């Protein structure tokens, strides 16, 4: 069973003459441990695709099946909880809670479930982000690259079915961007963490095992880079 | 929190069904400790299913390797058959040429079968990696023995910029290194120096190999690690790099490529995760 199945996904906006098809019957599957890059130009539909896979938006038709569960068959509240427990999202603009420390931001998905994560696991993840000496700092005291590393830590804490990263290096300089890619790659290879990364940057996409290309709402290519 | 006895019993029954191999998904995505417990139970009962998936995938991979081997052997075998037939009526000089070609094809087949079997073994997790602390200089020294001749013919040298000890399987890592050095030699110009460097960062130790070629284009990078895709150079046979990648991934590592270009060659990084 694949960890993610996207089935005939379609998203249309508007109606009649002004109807826009953002996503047109896109289907693909992702296996556990795969690193897939989804590439496309601005306006290609890749962000729409990401929002649908993450359960943040609902499709006009089609299904997204995560770890065997049809996510759009759930209610909004159930989906929010499912997402918290099963999907790790890394955004382009970090989206950390400004008045929580590094530790607390990473732990957030667990705290929302009213439980504390395993201390060892938390330490391991903090160490991976390279911020062991700044655990009690607030996001405002960190650089962009450091904040993004906290985001990645937050995405990993719950051992999600997959990590969804939307242009994770888009807001970073090249050095910080490289560090984030190394962090994500390391989680992918060491913990067999499935990684789905949306990007318009070819050089980043070339680091993936598989590249899916979206153009005008359609999947025009699905290329395996490393077998 | 008040949980009805009926719910607990139904959960028990579900777990029993899961142990029997039947599908069971108790998750209901509500707030609260009971729902979290159901999530955890799902994860636990599913780990068995995951193992089955892994085994099924391995079977699929082995089938693929068998098909690859037979497909790849067809070409050299037909070549050899053709040449032996033509040899019968050929003049002495041509006979000698044919004999050389036949020898070459047989060596090709031998290399292919060995490499494919290695990859199949690696992918099927039958291989045990015996890791030990070993300095890069030692790994390189051993690997050089297998590429000395090619380097000599092309008048290429290897320069090791730095040395450190890393934790890996000496034999397999050496094999990966040999393939990367061969690749670097193929892509480098004659009379040049191939640069080997090493270092570490918080996530991994690394060995890098930089060739003196023109760098890699996007289309070339895509083909690098796919089995049997031509790298454009005849000596490739298309399996060295995929094999090196399998070796590194099998021992908690990876291979990354920096394409170079604009006057500098490509750099391949062997990463050894900590």
Residue in B with minimal Cα distance to A132: B202
Cβ pair A6, A59 in contact under 8 A: no
Chain B residues whose CB is inside 8 A of the A39 CB are none
Question: Which of B36, B226, B256 shows the shortest C-beta gap to A227?
Answer: B226
B30 lies within 8 A of chain A by CB:
yes
- What would the pLDDT profile of B96-154 be if each residue is shown by its tens digit? 988 988 898 888 888 888 888 888 787 766 677 889 999 999 999 999 988 888 899 89
* C-alpha of B247 from chain center: 5
Average the pLDDT over B218-244 and give the result.
73
Task: Give the pair of three-digit tokens for residue B213.
Answer: 């070629």
pLDDT at position B234 is 46
ipTM higher than the 0.90 cut: no
In chain A, residues with a C-beta closer than 8 Å to the C-beta of B201 are: 182
Q: What is the mean pLDDT of chain B?
A: 86
**Residue range B138-177, pLDDT digits in tens:** 999 999 988 888 899 899 999 999 999 999 999 899 999 9
Check CB contact of A73 with chain B, cutoff 8 Å: no
pLDDT of A63-113, one tens digit each?
999 988 999 999 999 999 899 889 999 999 989 999 999 999 999 998 888
pLDDT at B237: 58
Separation of alpha carbons B214 and B203, rounded Å: 30
Q: How many residues does chain B have?
A: 274
How many CB pairs lie under 8 A apart between chains A and B?
Answer: 70
Radius of gyration (Cα) for chain A, nearest Å?
Answer: 17
Which residues of chain B have a CB within 8 Å of the CB of A81? 29-31, 35
Fold of B132-273: Heat Shock Protein 90 (3.30.565)
| Facing B256 at nearest CB: one of A78, A128, A207 | A207
Please give the residue of chain A at the shortest CA–CA distance from B225: A226
Is the pLDDT score of B231 beyond 60? no
Domains and CATH numbers, chain A: 32-42+73-211+218-224 (3.40.50.300)
Closest chain B residue to the Cα of A33, Cα to Cα: B54
Statement: residue A184 has pLDDT above 80 = yes
3-state secondary structure B191-258: CCEEEEEEEECCCEEEEEEECCCCCCCHHHHHHHCCCCCCCCCHHHCCCHHHHHHHHHHHCCEEEEEE
- Please give the structure tokens belonging to residue B16: 């029993």
Asked if residues A68 and B25 have their Cβ atoms less than 8 Å apart, the reply is: yes
């Amino acid at each position: 069973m694949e960890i993610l199945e996207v089935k005939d996904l379609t998203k249309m906006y508007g109606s009649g003459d002004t109807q826009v098809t953002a996503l047109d019957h896109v289907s693909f599957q992702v296996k556990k441990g795969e690193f897939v890059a989804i590439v496309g130009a601005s306006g290609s539909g890749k962000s729409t695709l990401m929002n649908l896979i993450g359960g943040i938006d609902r499709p006009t038709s089609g299904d997204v099946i995560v770890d065997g569960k049809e996510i759009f068959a759930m209610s909004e509240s159930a989906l929010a909880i499912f997402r918290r427990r099963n999907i790790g999202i890394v955004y382009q603009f970090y989206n950390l809670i400004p008045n929580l420390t590094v530790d607390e931001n990473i732990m957030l998905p667990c705290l929302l479930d009213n439980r504390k994560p395993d201390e060892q696991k938390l330490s391991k993840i903090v160490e991976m982000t390279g911020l062991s000496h700044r655990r009690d700092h607030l996001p405002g005291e960190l650089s962009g690259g450091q904040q993004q590393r906290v985001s990645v830590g937050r995405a990993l804490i719950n051992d999600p079915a997959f990590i969804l990263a939307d242009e994770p290096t888009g807001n970073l300089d090249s050095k910080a961007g490289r560090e984030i890619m190394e962090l994500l790659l390391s989680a992918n290879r060491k913990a067999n963490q499935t990684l789905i990364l949306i990007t318009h940057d070819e050089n980043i996409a070339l680091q993936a095992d598989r590249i899916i290309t979206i153009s005008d709402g359609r999947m025009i290519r699905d290329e395996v880079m490393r077998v | 929190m008040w949980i009805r006895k009926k719910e607990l019993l139904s959960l028990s029954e579900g777990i029993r069904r899961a142990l029997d191999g039947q599908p069971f998904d108790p998750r209901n995505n509500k707030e609260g400790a009971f729902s979290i417990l159901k999530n955890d139970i799902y994860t636990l009962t599913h780990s068995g299913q995951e193992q089955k998936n892994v085994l099924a995938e391995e079977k699929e991979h082995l089938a693929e390797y068998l098909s690859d081997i037979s497909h790849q052997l067809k070409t050299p075998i037909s070549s050899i058959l053709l040449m032996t037939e033509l040899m019968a009526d050929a003049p002495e000089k041509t006979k000698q040429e044919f004999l050389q070609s036949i020898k070459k094809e047989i060596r090709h087949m031998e290399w292919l079968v060995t490499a494919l079997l290695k990859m199949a073994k690696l992918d099927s997790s039958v291989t045990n990696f015996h890791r030990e602390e070993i300095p890069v200089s030692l790994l390189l020294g051993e690997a050089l023995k297998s590429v000395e001749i090619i380097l000599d013919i092309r008048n290429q040298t290897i320069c090791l910029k730095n040395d450190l000890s890393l934790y890996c399987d000496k034999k397999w890592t050496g094999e990966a290194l040999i393939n990367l050095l061969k690749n670097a030699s193929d892509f480098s110009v004659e009379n040049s120096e191939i640069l080997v460097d090493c270092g570490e960062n918080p996530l991994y130790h690394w060995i890098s190999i930089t060739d003196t070629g023109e760098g890699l284009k996007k289309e070339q990078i895509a083909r690098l690690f796919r089995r049997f895709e031509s790298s454009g150079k005849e000596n490739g046979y298309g399996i060295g790099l995929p094999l090196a990648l399998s070796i590194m991934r099998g021992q908690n590592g990876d291979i990354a490529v920096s394409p170079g270009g604009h006057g500098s060659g490509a750099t391949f990084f062997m990463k050894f995760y900590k």
